Amino acid sequence: MRRSVSAIAGLCLLLSVAVAAAQTPASEPANGETLFRQRCGACHQVATPRNGLGPHLQGVVGRAAGSVGGYNYSPAIKGAGIVWSTDNLDGFLTNPGAMVRGTRMTQRFANAAERQAIIEFLQQKQD
Ligand code: HEC
């Protein structure tokens, strides 16, 4: 009897450790750098400001839209007359074409927490 009680107690301890471990990622804020790499990295760079499929995004917060030299923007982005801010980046990422009709960036990012984390990461990437 004693033995089974301590076995159950041990099992409970194991379970609570497992549950705590499983909950950690969900309760922590999403990592902006990782999300950037996953969601944007195929087309955009930051640390090495080189253009790829999309323009580099080093220092994008506070930058005029369509202003990276050597990148062949759509006329839509060039003529948008936007200076990127944390607010309008959120709108752009939610639905680029709705904000800048005719932009060649068509990916939409529906997850608000992820957008927030990515924008905060970009905000730290100033020249
Ligand atoms: C499949 C490729 C692709 C992905 C993925 C992508 N983009 Fe883009 N992005 C582009 C292209 C292409 C442009 C240029 C659009 C144009 O010229 O109309 C662009 C333009 C932009 C611009 C405007 C830059 C400027 O200099 O005005 C921002 C800001 C931007 N992307 C942010 C992001 C972020 C943040 C992510 C990830 C959440 C992302 N993009 C994911 C292709 C992509």
- 44 CA from centroid of ligand 1 (Å): 7
Residues in the chain, total: 127
Residue 49 is part of which domain span?
31-124
Residue 41 Cβ inside 6 Å of ligand 1? The answer reads: no
Tell me what pLDDT residue 1 has: 54
- Verify that 51 and 107 share a domain, yes or no: yes
Total tally of structural domains belonging to the chain: 2
**Do 41 and 14 sit in the same domain of this protein?**
no
Same domain, 16 and 53: no
Residue with tokens 């087309």: 43
The model's pTM: 0.83
Do both 43 and 19 map to the same domain?
no
Tokens 């003529």, located at residue? 79
3-state SS assignment for residue 87: helix
One domain, residues 1 and 63: no
* Pocket mutation for ligand 1, best pick of 44, 61, 93, 118 (most atoms within 8 Å of C-beta): 44
Q: Which amino acid is at 46?
A: V
Q: State residue 24's pLDDT score.
A: 46
Do 86 and 107 share a structural domain? Answer: yes
Q: What is the rounded CA–CA span in Å between residue 100 and residue 10?
A: 59
Do 60 and 114 lie in one domain? The reply is yes
DSSP string, 13-77: HHHHHHHHHHHHHHHSPP-HHHHHHHHTTTT--SSS---SSS---TT-TTPBTT--TT----HHH
Q: Which residue is it, tokens 């990461």?
A: 121
* Alpha carbon 2 to chain centroid, angstroms: 53
Same domain, 53 and 86: yes
pLDDT averaged per 10 residues in sequence order, the chain, 127 residues: 60 51 53 96 93 97 97 97 98 98 98 97 90
Do 51 and 101 have their domain in common? yes
